Amino acid sequence: MAHKEWHIDRLKMKPGLVWQMAVNSLKVRISRTTLTLLTIATSSAFLIYLLTLPRSDDLADQQTWYLMLGLSVLVSAAGVLNTMLMSVSQRYREIGTMKCLGALDKFVLFTVMVESAILGFVGAVIGVIVGLTISILLGLLEYGFSLFQYLQFDWILLKILAAFALGIFLTTFGSSIPAVIASRMPPMDAMRGEK
């Protein structure tokens, strides 16, 4: 069998370009970005508010608290996952086009993931600030300056971390599945199907 030599190059992914594209995409779609941030911020604000709410000894109150915690995580998960899923699947055409221009699968994937992680992070920052503020203000109204005796500010760093983890996990997880699918799709199929 004949052997043939071809000169072929391997493309390298440039992290700087990934970051640039991700930030640009967030900036240009500013209204969508704002909306997504709002969803994430609300979720983490509510979470941090619940986590710092004064502890009640009443059993029924505690049950209500757990119920609210569970429900709020569930509702935010559904909201954020849906938003991320939509935002990626509306971009199949763009992804297909980029692949025609020579974008590597992992470039597409990383761009979407970095974008989501930024959203999750910024959303959580806003959410944590807003949540803590509300918690403290309501505490002040209720208990005056002795509020920290009542609010659950023990383990506060861990609680803030939990809010961040929730935000970033939900955004990256929500976009990862459609992003993996879209990045592996042959460009033609991606450009056809705005799934």
Partner 1 sequence: MSSLHTKTIPASDMPDRPAFNWLDDTGEDADLTVMTRDVTKIYQMGEEKIHALGGVNIKIATGEYISIMGPSGSGKTTLFNVIGGLTKPTSGNVFIDEIDVAQLDANELAWLRCRKIGYIFQSYNIVKVLTALENVTLPMLFAGVPPDEAQDRAVYILGRVGLGDRVLHTPKELSGGQQQRVAIARAFANKPSIILADEPTANLDLKTGEEIIELMREMNQEEGVTVVCSTHDHKMLNISDRIAWMQDGLLKKIAKRDEVDIEISQLAEK
Shortest Cβ distance from residue 10 to partner 1 (Å)? 5
Shortest Cβ distance from residue 188 to partner 1 (Å)? 4
Q: Which is nearer to partner 1, 89 or 135 (CB)?
A: 89
Q: Rounded to whole angstroms, how far apart are CA atoms 160 and 129?
A: 10
Residues 6+ apart with CB under 8 A from 185: 92, 95, 96
Shortest Cβ distance from residue 172 to partner 1 (Å)? 20
Token digits of residue 164: 């961040």
Q: Which is nearer to partner 1, 72 or 97 (CB)?
A: 97
Q: Which of 75, 195, 184, 171 is nearest to 122 (CA)?
A: 171
Q: Which is nearer to partner 1, 10 or 57 (CB)?
A: 10
Give the phi and the psi of residue 74 in degrees, each rounded to 5. Answer: -65, -45
Q: Give me the residues that bind partner 1 (CB under 8 A), please.
A: 1-12, 14, 17, 24-25, 28-29, 93-94, 96-105, 107, 186-189, 191
